[in-house]
Structure 1
Amino acid sequence: MTAVPDSVDVVVIGAGPSGAIASALLQQRGFNVVVLEREHFPRFSIGESLLPQCMVYIEEAGFLPAVRDAGFQFKNGAAFGWGERSTYFNFEEKFSPGPGTTFQVERARFDKLLADQAEAQGVRIFYGHTITGCELGEGESLLSYTRADGSAGQISCRFMLDASGFGRVLPKLLDLETPSSFPVRQAAFTHIDDGIPTGAFDRNKILVTVHPEERDIWYWLIPFSGGKSSLGVVASREKLAKRQGETPLDLVQTMLGEAPVLAKLLSGARWQYPANQITGYSCNVKQLGCQNYALLGNAGEFLDPVFSSGVTIAMRSASMAVKVLERQLNGESVDWTSEYEQPLRLGVETFRVFVDAWYQGLFQDIIFYPEQSKSVREMISSILAGYAWDRNNPFVAEPKRRMRALAEFCTSEA
């Protein structure tokens, strides 16, 4: 590949889903764009259960045929378990218009596929390039970077899109990070050959299992094609510390033993993949965009993995930011707060209410209530499918009030 140019219109930091989509959309609009990515693909990442809303942005970027043909596990909903109780949501039965199905993906292969599709459209991606410095200027910014061989370089640009995910490159360099309001939680996870007998579980759905006794502890099971699954457990750092084993794999296996129904489902699993854990992953920032840069997805804010919202927020932020940026680069006056940050935060705040309600037990009271209203289920299904920006949905227009009122009704009727 040719060397990184000295100057471009836009530098995208990171080649994950938001970076691939943003760069492809900019390339389609005729802008000079490059992507600088620290890692070499394929590389492991979590966030493996997509939401149907993602398909809108995958199609917008021109990636949909490749994603459909890749052999990923089909997904049409979410199942929930709590002891012997169970329920599920079919995402095709939802309030909001739009796709009702998607895929569950091993991110190493999925992210490389999207990046390759962006390159096929003409995007230049430079792997093994780590951003080390940023100088903001009026109309132009300067990024410093090091290559994999240790050599250094610089590139000037009219705008920067930070798609670095948990790396949060610009928030760290520009002192944009602020404390999250969420308690510090920890996730331990691995891949397994799940050994689930045919018919024992609907592999077209993610399974979220609540700990039988401690409702703020939960497990994810994300089936992939080929009999493989992602398995993880999430709890407060303090609660997992009490069960900590010698390795993250010990922790996952110990915690699985505390959920008998899930353990029985996975009794035939083979544990032959490495495990890992992350702690304190929730974050927030002072601002999501200005005349020099915009933060996409996890680079700006990450809530919690419970509703698989991360990739959806990342992809939507890429689509939204490019539309505002196109106008700015073409000489129009734009307001990044009112045209990007505030509209994006509408959906983020909807997800935040659902996450809060999950850990408070309110959402669990709702979904395990036996006599659920079909119309309310469809409204909730829309949020779970990623349509958290649909203002016509009462759970987007007034998420906190609706959630509390519904939880109070379900507990009073129980």
Structure 2
Amino acid sequence: MHDVVICGGGLAGLTLAIQLRRRLPSANIAVIERQRRPLPEACHKVGESSVEIGACYFERLLGREYFAQRQLRKNGLRFFSGPPASPIEERIELGPSERPVVPSFQLDRGRFENDLREVVEREGVELREGWGVRDVELAEDGEPHRVAVVDPEGREHALEARWVIDALSRRRLIAKKLGLHREIEEQASSSWFRVAQKIDVAELVSTTQERWHARDVEKSRWLSTVHLCGTGYWVWLIPLSSGMTSVGVVAESAVHDFRTFGKPEAVREWLRRHEPRLASRLEGVAFEDFIAMKDYRHDTTRVIGRERWACAGEAGFFVDPLYSPGSDMIGTINSLATEL
């Protein structure tokens, strides 16, 4: 029998496995993950931007040297607000002119999760790649939970565990099974893609705007998570260590119809209307991937139960990508689960 079975080997599940192994060296821990390595760099998952709490959590697991060598140090959050379609240099800019003392990072998720899997195996955690989770049977009165899994050849197996962790992202296996879903009235939708180029917000402003460019003392605006903000929306620009740039649209469902930006050609047209300079920069630039998500907000009444279960990462809740809270929540819930 396992002490802990973690269903899902994404960012939340992998970091929890490392944290548990170091806190409980003798524990029998298994991670069940459907997708095998190698994971594609850049075009793997959204959620590339970390903030200070999440960055501190990741640094404690992997060390600062790892991030200096394998990821990009982030230059904080940067917001450009003003009338829709207005020139960048005429907008109100809020962001650091020098890199913050407390570090955070821009994460190439494919690269990061490949590296985390290596650490998990090196730490002695059982990592079952190519295995799927069919179901979880939660037990009572201290009896072991049962996790129904499928191996790469399609054979079914049952694992027993004292603790079971749902890290299956939006599949939300435990929350749905226990009826923990909580409705969110005001919804938002998003679409995003990666391009195989560095997109620097400074490129969107003419070099004749000398005072605007001079504000960027270290020429590091591009290392920020850039937010181009308008009525009911914001657009992100996130640089990745692989040389790609992540671009995403986030819009309130009550203001912007998802159909206007939910497909590749639609989002190009949407950008032409709302962010014409960015749209012009992207003309002729291929999208390396494209993902869209309608009404992405979800919530739950509990993420940890005294019955020896927990929901890590998006298996619990996700409200909004603004301020990049995802890694903070991963670190917080993982740490609470580890203490229990």
Q: TM range, normalised to the smaller chain?
A: 0.7 to 0.9
The question of 1:150 aligning with 2:154 is answered yes
**One-letter identity of the residue aligned with 1:59:** E
Q: After TM superposition, give the deviation of residue 52 of structure 1 in Å.
A: 2.0
Aligned counterpart, 1:47? 47
**What residue in structure 2 maps to residue 101 of structure 1?**
103
Which piece of structure 1 moves more, 192-201 or 58-67? 192-201
Cα distance in 1 for partners of 2:152, 2:97 equals 43
Mapped contact 2:189–2:258 kept (Cα < 8 A): no
Matches within 5 A, 1:11-410: 11-28=5-22, 29-30=24-25, 31-41=27-37, 42=39, 44-70=44-70, 72-82=71-81, 83=86, 84-90=90-96, 100-137=102-139, 138-139=141-142, 140-181=144-185, 183-194=186-197, 196=199, 200=203, 202-211=221-230, 215-225=231-241, 227-237=243-253, 239-241=255-257, 244=260, 248-260=263-275, 262-263=277-278, 266=281, 270-291=285-306, 292-324=308-340
Q: Which amino acid aligns with 2:299?
A: N
CA gap of 1:116–1:88, structure 2 versus 1, over 3 A, is farther
- Is the 8 Å Cα contact of residues 81 and 208 (structure 1) preserved in structure 2? yes
2:216 — aligned with what? none
- Relative to structure 1, is the Cα distance of residues 179 and 25 closer, same or farther in structure 2, using a 3 angstrom cutoff? same
Matched residues in 2 for 1:92 and 1:168: separation?
40
Q: Distance in 2 between matches of 1:287 and 1:100?
A: 31
Counterpart residue type for residue 195 of structure 2: I
What is the alpha-carbon distance in structure 2 between the residues aligned to residue 158 and residue 91 of structure 1? 50
Between Structure 1 and Structure 2, how many residues are aligned?
Answer: 308
**Matched residues in 2 for 1:73 and 1:209: separation?**
21
- Report 1 or 2 for greater relative contact order, CA contacts < 8 Å, sequence distance ≥ 6: 2
Between structures 1 and 2, the one with greater helix share: 1
Partner of 2:211: none
8 Å CA contact 1:21–1:319 kept in 2: the answer is no
Q: Distance in 2 between matches of 1:195 and 1:76?
A: 15
Q: Do 2:196 and 2:244's aligned partners in 1 also have CA atoms closer than 8 Å?
A: yes
Amino acid at match of 1:25: Q
Q: Following TM superposition, by how much is the alpha carbon of 1:261 offset from its aligned partner in structure 2, in angstroms?
A: 5.9
TM-superposed CA distance for 1:242, in Å, is: 6.9
1:250 and 1:158 mapped to 2: Cα distance? 49
How far apart in 2 are the matches of 1:164 and 1:80? 32
- SS state of the match for residue 319, structure 2? coil
Q: Which amino acid aligns with 1:40?
A: R
CA RMSD across the alignment:
2.6
Please tell me whether the aligned partners of residues 226 and 236 of structure 2 are also in contact (alpha carbons under 8 angstroms).
Answer: yes
Percent identity reads 23
Contact 1:207–1:222 (CA<8 Å) still a contact in 2?
A: yes
Identify the residue that residue 347 of structure 1 maps to in structure 2. none
Give, as a single letter, the amino acid of the residue that structure 1 aligns with 2:67.
V
> CA distance change for structure 1 residues 195 and 32 in 2, over 3 Å: closer, same or farther?
closer
Cα deviations by residue, 1:320-344 (Å, 9 ceiling, x for unpaired): 22022xxxxxxxxxxxxxxxxxxxx
Provide the C-alpha distance between the structure 2 equivalents of 1:226 and 1:295, rounded to a whole number of angstroms: 31
Q: CA-to-partner distance for each residue in 1:229-273, whole Å, 9 max, x for gaps? A: 11111113465437537x721122112112346427835772241
The residue type paired with residue 303 of structure 1 is V
The 1-side partners of 2:159 and 2:332 are apart by 27
Name the SS of the counterpart of 1:143 in structure 2: strand
| Partner SS state of residue 260, structure 2 | coil
CA offset at residue 93 of structure 1? 8.7
SS in 2 for 1:142: strand
- Deviation (angstroms), 1:305: 1.1
Give the distance between the partners of 1:314 and 1:52, measured in 2 at CA. 13
Provide the C-alpha distance between the structure 2 equivalents of 1:197 and 1:22, rounded to a whole number of angstroms.
34
Where in structure 2 are there 5+ consecutive unaligned residues?
204-219
Does the aligned pair in 2 maintain the 1:50–1:105 contact within 8 Å? yes
